[in-house]
Amino acid sequence: MQYFEIEGGHQLHGEIVPQGAKNEALQVLCAPLLTQEKVTLTNVPDILDVNRLIEVLRLIGVDVKKVKADTYTFCAKDVDLAQLRSPEFHQQASRLRGSVMLMGPLLARFGEAIMPRPGGDKIGRRRMDTHFLGFQQLGAHFVYNEKGPQYELFSHGRLQGAFIHLDEPSVTGTANVVMAAVLAKGTTTIYNAACEPYLQQLCNLLNSMGAKIEANTIGSNKLIIHGVAALGGNGKKPHRILSDMIEVGSFIGMAAMTQSQLTIKNADVEYLGIIPKVFGRLGIDLETRGNDLIVNRQHICKIETYIEGGTLTIYDHPWPGFTPDLMSILLVTATQCDGSVLIHQKMFESRLFFVDKLIDMGARVILCDPHRAVVIGLARQYMLRGITMSSPDIRAGIALLIAAMSAKGSSRIFNIEQIDRGYQNIEGRLNALGANIKRLTQ
């Protein structure tokens, strides 16, 4: 079992380049299943969840070639549907939640999709109904096989376009239905669609492959898709995955907590939405230079209050609101700011359960209920102290790493596979900036 040993109190200096976006990669890696032709993707992050999905694609017959460190080609000419029923597929696909993105392309092109119940973060209920309700409205037949447990989808002939009003703006649900609809007969309108930049990227990739998603609807909550008979490859122009906005936010919090001057290069600033503004409300001094984001060194960050003096509340919301994936980082960053903030994590009922570790480190955090926590900033009057802890999920894991980097003394973080699922060579990249993080084996 591997773990991190972190010596706290080291400032970071220099520049860091964010990896490719995990959440986009898990979508666009499945799009090549829609065609027999080659699809090229660049800025693919070298992280555990993405590598596992690539292995699942290889298992079902996709020809995957690594052209260079972050560039892959995919050719799904000879997909073996029999593998969907194999124990090996069941084992590998159930290890990550991203495997759900295989269902839409498989159903659209082959009329069949079988998928085990996926794994992923234990952050609360993450229902799959939105995916299946969308597929059913396109004409698919859905069966939940409890013996697997697995999901089974079939269509008799080509899927049929439909008006689909999603019951929630699920990112993966929208992406899955979009990939099914691009090969459906007729026009599909998806209302209450997610509109995250990663979904916009998926739509742009599909259009480069020959799909007909109305360009003026991409980025809105109403997508209009005119089905085509077949898709091709993406030609000579590879699709570049965006920089990971969650990693960008993680580096902002990390710089603030360690009182560091840090430049985040190639941050794809135009796609960050309100992320810089929300961190700015904690008093963090940020500036933009071209496509780079600079976090200026500060001793203490002063949390804003409302105009009438009320305590600031920050909550997550579907795009263009603040992403839930950064709530853990925001919470830990606030522990050393001056002032108080109510963190309201609306979307997942178990994501705040890591705060007991922060309390053990000396943070002043009151967990009001599974969704809300009040952070009373220490204003650096007291340093957090190093402890031994375990990472419960990807985002809590990086939040605990940030806390340990700012703490007095040494900390150990176990279950770091959770961090590896979403962050590429994190200790190597941070040590190059001045951190002291060792990966050890117990």
Helix axis angle for 129-137 and 171-181, nearest 10°, is 20
Least Cα distance to 281 among 329, 314, 240 occurs for: 314
User: How far, in Å, CA of 70 to CA of 238, rounded?
Assistant: 12
- Residues 170, 104: contact at Cβ < 8 Å? no
Q: Where are the beta strands (DSSP E) in 133-289?
A: 141-145, 150-154, 163-165, 187-191, 212-213, 222-226, 239-240, 261-264, 286-289
Strand order in the sheet with 365-369: 312-315, 340-344, 372-376, 365-369
Tokens of 62: 């996709």
Residue 370 burial (CB count, 10 A) = 14
Bridge-partner residues for 313, per DSSP?
342
Distances from the Cα of 190 to the Cαs of 120, 157, 341, in angstroms? 26, 21, 37
Q: Is position 121 annotated as part of the catalytic site? A: yes
The residue count of the chain comes to: 442
- Type of residue at 20: G
Q: Which residues 6+ apart lie within 8 Å of 219 measured at CB? A: 195, 200
Catalytic residue among 121, 268, 325, 420: 121
Q: Which residues 6+ apart lie within 8 Å of 64 measured at CB? A: 54, 57, 58, 72, 73, 74
Q: How do beta strands 261-264 and 13-16 pair?
A: parallel
User: How far, in Å, CA of 52 to CA of 97, rounded?
Assistant: 11
Tokens of 8: 């706290």
Q: How many CA atoms lie within 13 A of 33 on its CB side?
A: 34
Radius of gyration for the alpha carbons in the chain, expressed in angstroms and rounded = 22
User: Would you name the residues annotated as active-site residues?
Assistant: 121
